[in-house]
Amino acid sequence: MGPCAIMGPDIGGVGAIRFFHRLKMHSGDMLMKRLATLTLTGVAALALSAAVQAEPDGEAIYNQACMACHMTGAAGAPIKGDEAAWAPRLEQGMETLYDHSINGFQAMPARGGFTNLSDEEVKAAVDFMLEPVL
């Protein structure tokens, strides 16, 4: 039971005495170490969360949502690494490629059929797919 658990409406009397007694038992180096550990753990978790959110993993998204068609050429999909197949598409510009990938185009379903993907995740998959030909 921590110091806050013993506080109650009786804070001016016996409750206050118990509170300060408990606080004294947990004061000093041990309390500071616990607080420092909790603080550092929280900061590390936030930093990791921000890093994960900052850069989608294009390869993982490609493997999940794009590979089935772009590895086999199904439905006329350009195969990853095939410069001749990608050249006319690249001539249209990256924004057009992103738009077709996000919104769909001809046989290409919007977001590769994975409607839960964000625009940034789709763009990361497109960037990964085009690395060999750029």
pLDDT for residue 46: 67
Cα angle: 129, vertex 130, 132; to 5 degrees = 100
The pTM of this model reads 0.61
pLDDT for residue 12: 56
Write the pLDDT tens digit of every residue in 61-108: 999 999 999 999 999 999 999 999 999 999 999 999 999 999 999 999
Write the pLDDT tens digit of every residue in 39-64: 666 666 666 666 556 799 999 999 99
Which neighbouring-strand residues pair with 120? none
Which domains does the chain possess? 3-54 (no CATH), 58-133 (1.10.760.10)
Which positions ≥6 away from 58 have C-beta within 8 Å?
124, 125, 126, 127, 128, 129
